[in-house]
Amino acid sequence: MNIKIGTRKSMLAMWQANYVKDELSKHGIHVELNPIETKGDKVLDVSISKIGSKGVFTEELEAMLENGEIDMAIHSAKDLPSELPNQFEILAFSSREKENDVLISLNKSLKLNSDNDQFVIGTSSTRRIATLAHYYPNIKTVEIRGNLQTRIKKMETGHCDALLLAYAGVARMEYHDLINQELALDIFTPAVGQGSLAVEIATTLSEEKKSKIRSILNDPMTEIKLKAERAYLRKLKGGCSIPAFANAQISDNTLSLHAGIFSLNGKEFVKKTMEGNLDTAEALGKKMGEDILKNGGAEILAQINKELNRKV
């Protein structure tokens, strides 16, 4: 069996694609990688919220899926929109890396704590900016985009004192020595899907390939967690430009979902925790979304959309 994989060109994206390639190759599948640049990779001087939050890192790969150039596209699950066009589906989620955010810096004394000195953190994430503004108002933030190596280089040249990043990317690129602090999930609750890879395909892919790929790559427990998280974000109709967050955990056959949303300035927020059965993950996520919206989330979301549209 031959499989063509589409991926972004960054070092981290290529690590992810090669990880998938290696897993498939172990089962005798011949794999060809097709790396490309997406709109999100090319436009680095504009924030994600201004160039459009949905499909920024996926549109070009989806076009290749649709015309049959590739069989599957590999994404960081957090970059994949909560709603896909009807002609595409997520076939598999990889086992999840630790989902925490981390603070990295060349200055090992810098940490987030209750009596912070002021320092500057580089991040383009509205979720991270809002969380910092709420819990650590002394911290200043500056916009920073680009792949992991570009961001670190900008930090090294004085653009900022530290970076807020996903542990998964830092670990996969072997930058463990730069980690100053692993941030608590209950405060820095991650983006939906953070830490996992998603395999996207066109619905027209042959059943033989679908079955083989899924049997090798899909992690059932991760899939349950991400179904709940993604159903929550789908109810909010949110992309990666809104400061929404969700994290699902499984313990003793119980699925627990912690989720919420911040206002852009971090002053207002709604967050909740709900529990459900493993076989009702999407229903739990949908219920969480409905609850968040009913209890102040709708007003926060309306203000976010108003502010983001004003900035575009």
pLDDT tens digits along 230-273 = 999 999 987 778 999 999 999 999 999 999 999 999 999 999 99
145 catalytic residue (yes or no): yes
79 catalytic residue (yes or no): yes
**88 vs 201: CA distance, rounded Å:** 6
219 catalytic residue (yes or no): no
Domains contained in the chain, number: 3
128 catalytic residue (yes or no): yes
pLDDT tens digits along 166-185 = 999 999 999 999 999 999 99
* 55 has pLDDT over 60: no
Domain that holds residue 286: 220-306
Domain co-membership, 214 together with 259: no
Domain co-membership, 115 together with 133: yes
pLDDT-derived band of residue 47, with 50, 70 and 90 as boundaries?
Answer: very low
Predicted local confidence at residue 96, as pLDDT: 97
Predicted local confidence at residue 44, as pLDDT: 42
* pTM of the predicted protein model: 0.91
**122 vs 83: CA distance, rounded Å:** 29
* 48 has pLDDT over 80: no
Candidates 21, 96, 225, 240; catalytic one: 240
Candidates 21, 145, 227, 287; catalytic one: 145
Candidates 8, 21, 96, 151; catalytic one: 151
Candidates 127, 227, 235, 287; catalytic one: 127
Within-domain flag for 312: no
230 catalytic residue (yes or no): no
Domain co-membership, 7 together with 91: yes
151 catalytic residue (yes or no): yes
* 53 has pLDDT over 90: no
Domain co-membership, 2 together with 87: yes
pLDDT tens digits along 266-295 = 999 999 999 999 999 999 999 999 999 999
Q: What distance separates the 2 farthest-apart alpha carbons in the chain?
A: 58
pLDDT-derived band of residue 114, with 50, 70 and 90 as boundaries?
Answer: low
Within-domain flag for 211: yes
Within-domain flag for 249: yes
Within-domain flag for 187: no
pLDDT-derived band of residue 37, with 50, 70 and 90 as boundaries?
Answer: confident
